[in-house]
Amino acid sequence: MYLLPKEIIFPPVHLANKDGILAIGGDLSVERLLLAYKSGIFPWYNEGEPIIWYSPKERMVLFPNELKISKSMRQILKKDEFKITYNQNFGDVISNCKNIYRDGQGGTWITSKMEKAYLELHKLGVAKSVEVWLEDELVGGLYGIDLGHVFCGESMFSKVSNTSKLAFIYLVQKLEKENYKLLDCQVYNNHLDSLGAREISRVDFLEYLKE
CATH number of the domain encompassing residue 52: 3.30.70.3550
Residue 46 has what pLDDT? 86
Mean pLDDT of the chain: 95
Domain end, chosen from 25, 41, 56, is at: 56
Domain that holds residue 102: 60-209
Are both 52 and 80 inside the same structural domain?
no
Distances from the Cα of 103 to the Cα of 107, 108, 193, angstroms: 10, 11, 19
Upper half-sphere CA count for residue 121 (Cβ side, 13 Å): 28
Phi then psi dihedrals of residue 82, to 5 deg: -105, 150
Upper half-sphere CA count for residue 142 (Cβ side, 13 Å): 22
Q: Are 129 and 93 in contact (CB under 8 A)?
A: yes
Are both 44 and 94 inside the same structural domain?
no
Domain end, chosen from 33, 56, 79, is at: 56
Q: How many domains does the chain have?
A: 2
The per-residue pLDDT for range 75-114, each reduced to its tens digit, is 999 999 999 999 999 999 999 999 987 655 444 579 999 9
Are both 49 and 92 inside the same structural domain?
no
Are both 46 and 147 inside the same structural domain?
no
The per-residue pLDDT for range 26-66, each reduced to its tens digit, is 999 999 999 999 999 999 998 888 999 999 999 999 999 99
What pTM was estimated for this model as a whole? 0.94
Q: Are 95 and 113 in contact (CB under 8 A)?
A: no
Domain end, chosen from 56, 84, 101, is at: 56
Are both 92 and 184 inside the same structural domain?
yes
Upper half-sphere CA count for residue 100 (Cβ side, 13 Å): 20
Are both 84 and 163 inside the same structural domain?
yes
Give CA–CA dist 118/32, Å, rounded.
12
